[in-house]
Structure 1
Amino acid sequence: MVRILITDGMDKNAITKLIEGGFEVVEKHYEVEGLKEKVKEFDVIVVRSATKIRKPIIDKALETKRLKLIIRGGVGVDNIDVNYAMEHGIQVMNTPNASSISVAELTIGHMFALARYIYIANVTMRNGEWNKKQYKGVELIGKTLGLIGFGRIAKETAKRAYALGMNVIYTDKKGKAEGYDKYTYMSLDELLAKSDFISIHVPFNRENGVILGEEEFNKMKNGVYLINTARGGVVCEKALVKALDSGKVAAAAVDVFEEEPTRNEKLYTHPRVSLTPHIGASTKEAQARIGQEIVDIITKFFK
């Protein structure tokens, strides 16, 4: 019987479908040392963002050569040493379609939260403060949204921003996207200089590294708003805090962090930062779609 280890949780209906399909499913999170031993007992591992499948874990799996498939429930696979696994005959797959709408909606939600001080007014009112005069915000209509990366999530974000009356510009390593003439393609430097809001939609990997560091912040408009629902590490947190302190960045929304859970106190206590704990795909609908996509991947792979 094919054995599946689910380390970071999964939609319950999807688990039921796997069991009904004749698969043995174990849902349990292991820390690194425990996972090194358990990985040898499974044919499939399903992870989200909490579990990292690095070379030492893959090496342990190779001792029994049982592991055939690693699935990341979500968009990126930066928490998996993909090339190393593939070189040793272990297939790596993800669910790139399932969470695009959820992440795009969170991005738009953070934009509203920043523009209208919702993120901080909610806190100060609970402290008994009535800071009406301090919270004079801005409207999104007529503002320019710059999207760094133009994949599935960015396209969904662009659609919603355009409907709100925003001007959408984007940059992408693949160049101009066909069929999206409502939006304007430009270089990263041009985008940084022209955007009122900047939203990041690129994966983190060791080749790309930091996308926005101190040099890039210096190229931005004064008073720009920044949203990162992509990956921690693509924005240098030290440079971001400096840009917030100087006023270069009016406010920032951060859902992803260099270290998770974050211990960057200067960032998470900053009065102009809207925070969420990596919840881009955390909707009932997205988790159901992710679960179904995982079921489809496993069923097709083994049958």
Structure 2
Amino acid sequence: MTACRIVITEFMDESAVQRLRQQHHVLYDPTLVDQPGALLAEAPMADALVVRNRTQVRGSLLAALQRCRVIGRLGVGLDNIDLPACEQRGMQVIPATGANAASVAEYTIASALLLLRGAYQASADVAAGLWPRAALSHGREVGGKVMGIVGFGDIGRLTARLAAGLGMQPVAWRGRREASDPLFAEAGVRALTLDELLAEADVVSLNLPLTPQTRGLFDATRIAAMKPGAVLVNTARGGIVDERALAAALREGRLGGAALDVFEAEPLPASAHFQGCPNLLLTPHVAGVTQEANQRVSGMIAEAVLRALG
């Protein structure tokens, strides 16, 4: 077998990198995503490209991938890859479907627990001798609350199962499916329209891809339709949520909290609309990245790339 050249532009588990090196020539530079000139110089020699979500496989980079046969995506979202253009060029695009579902679902549940209880940001006050017991005695339990899941793929289904294990009542947006679809019954959830879900859900978890149809799905009108005091958790893509409308709803006390792991622009620029915003958790696109998930995702993509290269 002739050795091929594999270019990896973002971080990957070292054991998976070594697995690729056993059979092929590998350039592994997790900072390559931030060196567009160097990346463009390497692209023409790549038989395979492995990326996460920041590498934009389109435009000049895609044009430079003159002999690339496969693109491995260390994750599941594909909005950073021009899929029609890749298909036209005969490039196989392989996402790590399901490999980080546990990590994202656990992040969602942890965020719901933190935001509903509202008692876990008092360490500095308690250590300083203050005792904000009365102020922190109004938290809510998750038991009996409704978990609304918008996007019922691998992550959404696992989130429903974890939520049910805590005594929550999972419901799911049925999207284009019929409410009678066996998928929902098998998962033990009720299938609702989006308006019905927002009226009932104490926690809303977004787990759907960014597409022209989902961009701006949670605009000011839809955020206003959420149940008063509800919590929003977005681990999907930032373009789905109107960030300014969400911040306004938090400041006005209409929502009980929000956890955002993804943003319209990443890295998130210094953001006036989030400065001093109450009941808000912000993380830098890490919901799907744990030690275990990174190993699963990296291993899955390494094996898939090896099969694609033959």
Provide the TM-score with structure 2 as the length reference: 0.91
- Report the AA paired with residue 80 of structure 1: I
Helix, strand or coil for the counterpart of 1:209? coil
Query: What is the aligned-residue identity percentage?
Result: 34
| Cα distance change of structure 1 residues 72 and 268 upon mapping to structure 2, 3 Å threshold | farther
Asked if the contact 1:77–1:94 (Cα under 8 Å) also holds between the matched residues in 2, the reply is yes
Quote the residue 2:159 is aligned against. Answer: 157
Quote the residue 2:246 is aligned against. Answer: 240
| Cα distance change of structure 1 residues 52 and 269 upon mapping to structure 2, 3 Å threshold | farther
**Alpha-carbon separation, structure 1, partners of 2:83 and 2:142:** 39
| Cα distance change of structure 1 residues 137 and 72 upon mapping to structure 2, 3 Å threshold | same
**Alpha-carbon separation, structure 2, partners of 1:119 and 1:212:** 27
Asked if the contact 2:206–2:234 (Cα under 8 Å) also holds between the matched residues in 1, the reply is yes
Q: How does 1:165-176 map to 2 (within 5 A)?
A: 165-175=167-177, 176=179
Quote the residue 1:51 is aligned against. Answer: 55
Q: Deviations over 1:230-261 (max 9, x none)?
A: 11111110110111112111111111111112
Quote the residue 1:214 is aligned against. Answer: 220
Q: Deviations over 1:55-76 (max 9, x none)?
A: 2211122xxx211111111111
Q: How does 1:1-303 map to 2 (within 5 A)?
A: 1-20=3-22, 22-28=23-29, 29-30=31-32, 31-61=35-65, 65-122=66-123, 124-125=125-126, 129-135=130-136, 136-175=138-177, 176=179, 177-181=181-185, 182-263=188-269, 264-267=271-274, 269-303=276-310
Q: What's the offset of the Cα at 1:179?
A: 4.3
| Cα distance change of structure 1 residues 233 and 129 upon mapping to structure 2, 3 Å threshold | farther
| Cα distance change of structure 1 residues 56 and 205 upon mapping to structure 2, 3 Å threshold | farther
CA RMSD after TM alignment: 1.7
Q: What's the offset of the Cα at 1:156?
A: 0.4
- Report the AA paired with residue 289 of structure 1: R
Helix, strand or coil for the counterpart of 1:50? coil
Unaligned runs of 5+ in 1: none
**Alpha-carbon separation, structure 1, partners of 2:76 and 2:124:** 32
Asked if the contact 1:243–1:249 (Cα under 8 Å) also holds between the matched residues in 2, the reply is yes
**Alpha-carbon separation, structure 2, partners of 1:155 and 1:168:** 9
- Range with greater deviation from structure 2 (139-148 or 166-175): 166-175
**Alpha-carbon separation, structure 2, partners of 1:49 and 1:251:** 26
| Cα distance change of structure 1 residues 302 and 149 upon mapping to structure 2, 3 Å threshold | same
- Range with greater deviation from structure 2 (122-131 or 112-121): 122-131
Q: Deviations over 1:149-188 (max 9, x none)?
A: 1010010000000011111111143414424322100100
Asked if the contact 1:120–1:271 (Cα under 8 Å) also holds between the matched residues in 2, the reply is no
- Report the AA paired with residue 186 of structure 1: L
Provide the TM-score with structure 1 as the length reference: 0.93
Helix, strand or coil for the counterpart of 1:93? strand
How many residues align structurally?
A: 299
- Range with greater deviation from structure 2 (128-137 or 118-127): 118-127
| Cα distance change of structure 1 residues 43 and 126 upon mapping to structure 2, 3 Å threshold | farther
